[in-house]
Amino acid sequence: MTAEELMNLNDEPNRHELIKGELLTMPPPGYPHGTVTMNLSLLLGMYVRTYNLGVASSEIGFKLETDPDTVLAPDISFISRDRIGIVSEGYPHGAPDLAVEVLSPSDRKTPVERKTALWLELGAKAVWNVDPRKRTVEVVRADGHRKLFHETDELVDDTVPGFKVKVSEIFA
* Maximum CA extent, the chain: 45
Chain centroid, CA 81 distance in Å:
17
Q: Among 97, 95, 115, which residue's Cα sits nearest to residue 24?
A: 115
pLDDT of residue 86: 58
Q: Which residue has the higher pLDDT, 25 or 47?
A: 47
Beta-bridge partner residues of 141: 126
Q: Whole-structure pTM over 0.85, yes or no?
A: yes
Task: Kindly tell me if the per-residue pLDDT of 49 is higher than 90.
Answer: yes
Indicate the Cα dihedral angle 130, 26, 31, 42, nearest 10°.
50
CATH of the domain at 27: 3.90.1570.10
pLDDT at 103 over 90: yes
Q: Which residues contact 94 (CB under 8 A, 6 or more apart)?
A: 62, 63, 64, 122, 123
Range of 121's domain? 3-170
Domain count, the chain: 1
Residue 144 has pLDDT above 90, yes or no: yes
CB neighbour class for 122 (10 Å; exposed up to 12, middle 13-18, buried from 19): middle
